[in-house]
Amino acid sequence: MHRSMDSDKCKVVGSVSDWQGWCAASQPDILQVCDWVELRVDALSTDVTPEQLLNGPRPACPVLLTVRHESEGGCRAMSQQERVALAHKLLPLATALDWETAQLAEAQELVAAAKAAGVTVIASNHDFDKTPALEILQQREVHARSLGADVVKFAYRLHTAEDMMVGVELLRRATGPMAVMGMGALGAVSRLVYAQHGSCLVYGYLGTTPTAPGQWSAALCKQALANLTPLV
């Protein structure tokens, strides 16, 4: 199993959902808080234009570009065509691009453009109600990789400790870089457990507003991971 994209260290991703947070991420001390900055384009005010993002301050660390689909937690209703066009415009900002596995087949030109630019493609899967069966998650991993995913990401709601162990087994059987995180009451602790078992990314928020249920602040994630020993 490949544990990470370029090292054995789990990357802490700090999510930004407003212009103020994006500007703050350009400060050098951002690296004390997170390793990557996720730009949640769908969560930004529509007053923030692609040109403003491209010509304004840039974070002092790698950028993960996300234009989340509404059905998987996106904050803005956009057609697939609008999302793809927006991602194409903002691709020069990105070290990595997050796109939903369910929408990946319709975005193959974007995937090709990302790969040509050396941008890592992350295929994400979200279930806000339950933890899918291990076999279903494995099938989604195979499907995502067949569509060009470099990293496969799973986020799902945990109800029991048994649910949490599904992710541990999923990571054990992963065929390439994978990120796994839980949502809900067990979400916070699951992010550390999965990081110990090989999840290559752990997400936290920058500022005061979480971008997903069960999410820690990025700074707290980074502090906690510094005190953990990987188990794989």
Active-site positions read 126, 153
**Burial class of residue 6 in the structure, from the number of CB atoms within 10 Å of its CB (0-12 exposed, 13-18 middle, 19+ buried):** exposed
Encoded tokens for 215: 């999410």
d(CA 180, CA 39) in angstroms, rounded, equals 19
Encoded tokens for 129: 């109600």
Asked if 108 and 148 touch (Cβ cutoff 8 Å), the reply is yes
d(CA 101, CA 104) in angstroms, rounded, equals 5
Encoded tokens for 155: 């986020």
Rounded (10°) angle between helices 80-90 and 108-116? 10
- The angle formed by the CA atoms of residues 138, 186 and 124, to the nearest 5 degrees, is 35
Asked if 125 and 101 touch (Cβ cutoff 8 Å), the reply is yes
| Count helices and strands in the chain by DSSP H and E runs | 9, 9
- The angle formed by the CA atoms of residues 69, 76 and 106, to the nearest 5 degrees, is 30
SS3 95: coil
